[in-house]
Amino acid sequence: MSISEHISKQFNAELEAVRSSVLQMGGLVEEQIEHAVEALTTGNIDLIEQVIADDHRVNAMEVSIDEICSQIIARRQPTAGDLRMIMTVIKTITDLERIGDEAAKIARMAKLIYAAGRTHMPRFIEIRHVANIALEMLRKSLDAFARLDLAAAAQVVRQDELVDEEFRSIIRQLITFMMEDPRKISTSLEILFAAKAIERIGDHAKNMSEYVVYLVKGKDVRHVTVEEIEREAQE
């Protein structure tokens, strides 16, 4: 084996290790969302504390992967597709870290609601529903990244519209509650903040799926219509 072949194999191994780390971080973030929503809907205090405490693990993974990417750029000076892969990883872990922050925010809202004993609000069914959609978007965007699947990436972008619509519906319902009974204002606002955090998770998952299109096609599809992204995925 020549020196250049050896270096190339090493480089490919490094890229593969980075990709695996991103998927591992994604798995941890998925778990954070599941636990946060479970904590919000059940009032499990141990779970609430676990989600808040585990946020530092997500942050540490982002710092670690970012550092590895910086070292690869400095040592290997990647170009074309390899450089796009590194850039995609850096952007993706930023969104994953922010999703972790949103999960911690949901847990903190749950802590406030249950600490005050205000558990009579019936909006948790809608919260769980929209959270399931956002979680599916995250899983699908990670899967699209792992398999370079443009069709899956386009589906995530389309699903974001559904999450936005569900969020608007929750807002309307909560406003009605607050108008009917001012005593429910505090809890309604806390549920609203939790719902907004879930809506933001959907936004970050959408960003991640757009990075997959950039990785595969070399085209930046941020700020374009869903239809344009779907066309790009089919070409």
- Which amino acid type is present at position 207? N
How far is the C-alpha of 33 from the C-alpha of 22, rounded, in Å? 17
Helices (H) and strands (E) in the chain, counts: 7, 0
Q: Average pLDDT for residues 125-129, to the nearest whole number?
A: 89
Residue 44 CB contacts under 8 Å (≥ 6 apart), including other chains: 38
> How many other C-beta atoms are found inside a 10 Å radius of the C-beta of residue 53?
11
How far is the C-alpha of 114 from the C-alpha of 39, rounded, in Å? 10
Q: pTM value?
A: 0.91
pLDDT digits (tens, 9 = 90+) for 78-88: 788 889 999 99
Please name each of the domains of the chain with its CATH number. 3-234 (1.20.58.220)
pLDDT digits (tens, 9 = 90+) for 157-216: 999 999 999 999 999 999 998 999 888 888 889 999 999 999 999 999 999 999 999 999
